[in-house]
Amino acid sequence: MMKKRTILVTGGAGYIGSHTAILLIEAGYDIIIFDNFSNSSRKSVKRVEKIVNQPIIIVEGDIRNKNDLEKVFQSHTIHAVIHFAGLKAVGESVEKPLKYYDNNVYGTLNLCEVMAKNSCKTIIFSSSAAIYGDPASTPISEHFPTSATNPYGRSKLFIEEILKDLYLSDNEWKIVLLRYFNPIGAHPSGTIGEDPSGIPNNLMPFISQTAIGKREYLSVFGDDYDTADGTGVRDYIHVVDLAQGHVKALEKIDSFKEVIEINLGTGEGYSVLDVVKAFEKVTGVKVPYKIEPRRAGDIASCYADVSYAKQVLDWESTKTLEEMCADTWYWQKQNPQGYKSH
The string of pLDDT tens digits covering residues 6-38 is 999 999 999 999 999 999 999 999 999 999 999
User: In this structure, how many other beta carbons lie within 10 angstroms of the beta carbon of residue 337?
Assistant: 12
Q: Is pLDDT of 187 > 90? A: yes
Strands 57-60 and 236-238 turn out to be: unpaired
152 is catalytic: yes
pLDDT > 50? residue 1: no
- Residue 85 identity (one-letter amino acid): A
CATH fold for domain 6-184+236-265+303-318? Rossmann fold (3.40.50)
Confidence label for 85 from pLDDT (cuts 50, 70 and 90):
very high
Domain boundaries, the chain: 6-184+236-265+303-318
Mapped onto helix, strand or coil, the DSSP state of residue 83 is strand
Full-model pTM: 0.96
pLDDT, mean of residues 270-298:
96
If pLDDT is split at 50, 70 and 90, which confidence band does 341 have?
Answer: confident
How many angstroms separate the Cα of 143 from the Cα of each of 123, 156, 160, 305? 21, 16, 14, 10
pLDDT reported for residue 25:
98
Q: Is the pLDDT of residue 110 over 90?
A: yes
Share of the chain above pLDDT 70, in %: 99
**Looking at the predicted structure, is the pLDDT value of residue 90 above 50?**
yes
In the chain, which ranges are E strands? 6-10, 30-35, 57-60, 80-83, 122-128, 174-180, 182-184, 218-221, 233-234, 236-238, 260-264, 270-271, 289-292, 301-302
Using DSSP's 3-state secondary structure scheme, residue 308 falls into: helix
C-alpha angle 59-60-65 in degrees, rounded to nearest 5? 105
Mean pLDDT of the chain: 96
Per the residue annotation, which of 100, 152, 225, 303 is the catalytic one? 152
Q: What is the pLDDT of residue 342?
A: 65
Residue burial 159-188, b: 16+ Cβ < 10 Å; e: rest: bbeebbebbeeeeebbbbbbbbbbbbbbbe
Tell whether the model's pLDDT for residue 52 goes beyond 50. Answer: yes
Assign 130 a pLDDT band (cuts: 50, 70, 90).
very high
Checking if the pLDDT of 170 tops 80, the result is yes
| Predicted confidence band of residue 208 (pLDDT cuts 50, 70, 90) | very high
**11 exposure class (CB count in 10 Å sphere: 0-12, 13-18, 19+):** buried
Q: Looking at per-residue confidence, does 295 or 229 come out higher?
A: 229
pLDDT reading at 320 higher than 90: yes
From the CB of residue 109, how many other CB atoms can be counted at a distance below 10 Å? 16
pLDDT score, position 58: 98
Averaged over 180-205, what is the pLDDT?
Answer: 94
Sheet containing 122-128, strands listed edge to edge, beginning at the edge strand earlier in sequence: 57-60, 30-35, 6-10, 80-83, 122-128, 174-180, 260-264
* pLDDT of 3 strictly over 70: no
Q: Which of 85-94, 124-133, 175-184 has the lowest mean pLDDT?
A: 85-94
> What pLDDT, on the 0 to 100 scale, is given for residue 131?
96
